[in-house]
Amino acid sequence: MKDTRFARFVVIVNGAVPLALLCWDAYRHQLGANPVNFAIRTTGMMTLILLPLSLLVTPVKKLTGWNWLFPFRRTLGLYAFFYACCHFTLFFGLDQSFDVSRTIGEMVKRPYLVVGSIGLLCLIPLALTSTKNAIKRLGSKRWQALHRLAYVAAVAGVVHYYMLVKADVRQPIAFAVVVTLLLGFRIVDAVRRRAARESKISAA
Ligand code: HEM
């Protein structure tokens, strides 16, 4: 098995760079006229970039046979969860002053917040079951079924972004195309595997 320690180190460091830059710019008051909104949007964008990246690992692994890529799915997935938590905490903490009733009021007024919350809620069980122990405890079949929530989180993230964008929807649509292709690959792959299984059974 290929030694991926250095490559994983590079991914872990690069995953932390956007947050480090955001903190550095915040420290130097370089986040513009609305620093809280800038920080919310930056962490939201990082979540939406990291989610499809983590979903990209399996298709690439299947197409190339690069099994050594597998651990990167977990690293990227946990980073997506981390940035989603930062994103929500910045909103709930700095924008809504940890005021639960006010936040609920905002969610009623801005439905895209509800869609974003569905995405975040889907990521929580995935992060909690990302350890080897959890896979053993759940069994790989149930674990894989649970981790299909990653697709729901990705779709919710794209819809959340599309709903909040006022004018130019090109970026949300680009993310929608990427997520659709990633889901499409999985559906085609599942259909193929089923057909192969059935033809094996009928040949037996
Ligand atoms: C999987 C979960 C989520 C993803 C992928 C996500 C992603 C994003 C993205 C891409 C943006 C826009 C960034 C930009 O304009 O550059 C954004 C903005 C925002 N998100 Fe999320 N988000 C998620 C969950 C949430 C949650 C749970 C909340 C709060 C309940 C939330 C509140 C916001 C707010 C307030 C904005 C800024 C809107 C504005 O500028 O008008 N998001 N999010």
Residue-level pLDDT at 98: 97
User: Ligand 1, atom 41: nearest CA belongs to which residue?
Assistant: 164
The more confident residue out of 104 and 201 is 104
Residue-level pLDDT at 134: 92
3-state DSSP assignment of residue 62 = helix
Q: From the CA atom positions of the chain, what is the Rg in Å?
A: 19
Q: Identify the residue whose tokens are 């195309």.
A: 177
**Core vs surface per residue 38-73: b (16+ CB within 10 A) or e:** bbbebbbbbbbbbbbbbbbbbbebeeeeeeebeebb
Query: What's the rounded mean pLDDT across residues 85-99?
Result: 97
pLDDT tier, 120 (very low <50, low <70, confident <90, very high otherwise): very high
**Using CA atoms, how far apart are residues 76 and 141, in angstroms rounded to an integer?**
22
Distance of CA 102 to the CA centre of its chain: 27
The 10 Å Cβ neighbour count of residue 180 is 13
Query: What's the rounded mean pLDDT across residues 91-96?
Result: 97
Residue-level pLDDT at 107: 96
User: Taking the domains of the chain in order of start, what are their residue ranges?
Assistant: 5-203
pLDDT tier, 16 (very low <50, low <70, confident <90, very high otherwise): very high
Identify which of 45, 103, 161, 179 to mutate to test ligand 1's pocket (most ligand atoms within 8 A of the CB).
Answer: 161
Nearest to 52 by CA among 167, 139, 158: 158
> Ligand 1 centre and the CA of 200: distance in Å?
47
For 85, counting Cβ atoms within 10 Å of its Cβ (0-12 exposed, 13-18 middle, 19+ buried), the class is middle
Q: Any idea of the CA torsion for 51, 169, 180, 54, to the nearest 10 degrees?
A: -10
Is 5-203 in CATH node 1.20.120? yes
What is the rounded average pLDDT for all residues in the chain?
94
Phi, psi of 167 (to 5 degrees): -115, -70
- pLDDT at position 20 over 60: yes
pLDDT tens digits along 26-81: 999 999 999 999 999 999 999 999 999 999 999 999 899 888 888 899 999 999 99
**Using CA atoms, how far apart are residues 171 and 97, in angstroms rounded to an integer?**
30
pLDDT tens digits along 141-183: 899 999 999 999 999 999 999 999 988 999 999 999 999 999 9
User: Ligand 1, atom 8: nearest CA belongs to which residue?
Assistant: 44
> Ligand 1 centre and the CA of 110: distance in Å?
11
